[in-house]
Amino acid sequence: MTATVVLGAQWGDEGKGKVTDFFASSADYVVRFQGGNNAGHTIVVGDEKLALSLIPSGVLYSDCVPVIGSGCVIDIGFLKQEIEMLHSKNVSTKKLAISPNAHVVMPYHKLLDELIEENLGENKIGTTKKGIGPCYADKIQRSGIRIQDLLDDDVFAQKVKTNVEEKNQLLTKIYGREPLDHDEIINEFKAYKDIIKNHMKDTSLMISNAIKEGRTILFEGAQGTLLDIDHGTYPFVTSSNTSSGNAAIGSGVGPLNLNKIVGVTKAYISRVGSGPFITEQENEIGDYLIEKGAEFGVVTGRRRRCGWLDLISLKYSVRVNSLTELFITKLDVLSGLEEIKLGVGYKTAEEVITDYPYQQSIFYDAEPVYETFEGWSEDITSVTNFDELPDNAKKYINAIENFIEIPITFISVGPERNQNIVINND
């Protein structure tokens, strides 16, 4: 049995879509364990680009079962659109399995997400306004609506009425908006019952049985470690646990079943939205990385902030996730730069820190400490062997590996499925 977790080691947008697709080609199940349609990943197949947000990338393989686990929150209207998009590309979704315990993003969640963000003004988080945070808040408050509730008309109607009554107090008295009509919402969701009937399965039991049978399971994370609600750059984080521990919780299997945890990082670093970013380059280097790396959000289209790879935060991701190996993406984007830098410390007024700070204020006061490397000009997009890389590229990769103390086993040198270097990996 192989149960592999693939997750982002930065602030998301590391190229996980390509990486999960790479592993999904040999997986029997691909399981999404957290998040919603606030995260997107792009998979390039020949001249075709497929942008997925909810459905796991395993859907592209006819022998693979894509699973949306209990740790996810689901906008069913969006899910319907994604299913229809895949059908238009002749991709079957017949095997898609959805946990009955996953929570449903309701219309009032999306409206409140937008209003809360607007009300924060200059202190806004940079949310995608997809209703993810308010949905998780209702889940924790024990007033959420789950996938299984949609199959019981009385239960669903009662929960919607109760929630709308509460939300209308906020909408009318705090935000000065018109109240929502609970009957309209109930009627809207009647159209989604067939989707639930066709795809709702006991996914915890399904995955557990597959593990007993020795099947290959891939657990697919959304966003990235530095956006984890507990371990990220709070409050500029997402609303769920994006780190590897949640792969077990968000899919309903025991943690001892996980035997391989692969972190994904770019050869540089980026983030979308607000929040601290010590190695950010608000200059021609940042512009170069954004343009050459096509750094625009899959879901929002927003221009990403870019900077040099931060090894302090990467080493932190190794620690909190128990990463067993690293997959580096977009090394080809660095080709053409005269010099390349790696962040190896944070300099405060008192000292140079080489471990991730535990106090939030340090992120705003510290300056980066860099190690500088000579760049390379060669086109590496057709390289398939590590030894064929330019010497300066190899020195750069080796420096990363030495600092984080886990093996780098894969390097992506282009967006296509087959543009990868595999290093000492079976």
Per residue in 382-398, pLDDT (tens digit) is 999 999 999 999 999 99
- Per-residue burial over 235-262, b if 16 or more Cβ lie within 10 Å, else e, is ebbbbbbbbbbbbbbbbbbeeebbeebb
Does the structure show a pLDDT above 90 at 373? yes
Mean predicted confidence (pLDDT) in 274-297: 92
Structure tokens at 131: 């209703």
Q: Alpha-carbon distance 326 to 8, whole Å?
A: 10
pLDDT tens digit sequence for 138-150 = 999 999 999 999 9
Active site residue 13: yes
- The answer to whether 41 is a known catalytic residue is yes
* Cα distance between residue 138 and residue 126, in whole Å: 20
In 176-221, beta strands by DSSP E: 216-220
> How many C-beta atoms lie closer than 10 Å to residue 76's C-beta?
21
Looking at 272-387, which runs of residues are DSSP E strands? 305-307, 309-310, 325-329, 339-347, 352-353, 367-374
Q: Do residues 72 and 33 lie in contact, with contact meaning Cβ atoms separated by under 8 Å?
A: yes
Q: Which residues contact 332 (CB under 8 A, 6 or more apart)?
A: 379, 380, 381, 412, 413, 414, 419
Among residues 28, 41, 109, 182, the one annotated as catalytic is: 41
Give CA–CA dist 375/209, Å, rounded.
49
Q: Are 41 and 55 in contact (CB under 8 A)?
A: no
- Say what the pLDDT of residue 128 is: 79
Quick check: 34 pLDDT over 80?
yes
Task: Give the pLDDT confidence of 15-26 residue by residue, as tens digits.
Answer: 888 888 888 889
- pLDDT score, position 121: 72
pTM, two decimals, is 0.92
Place of tokens 């509460």: 166
Angle at 153 between CA 148 and CA 156, to 5 degrees: 60
Rounded to 5 degrees, what are φ and ψ at 209? -65, -40
Question: Can you give the pLDDT at residue 21?
Answer: 82
The two three-digit tokens of residue 5, written as one number: 């977790």
**Chain Cα centroid distance, residue 358:** 23
| Predicted confidence (pLDDT) at residue 179 exceeds the cutoff of 90 | yes
Taking the C-alpha atoms of residue 73 and residue 75, their distance in angstroms, rounded to an integer, is 7
Specify the pLDDT at position 60. Answer: 87
| CA-to-CA dists, residue 387 to 220, 332, 341, 377, angstroms | 30, 15, 22, 16
Q: Do residues 13 and 226 make contact, with C-beta atoms less than 8 angstroms apart?
A: no
Give the pair of three-digit tokens for residue 316.
């932190």
Interatomic CA distance for residues 257 and 188, integer angstroms = 40
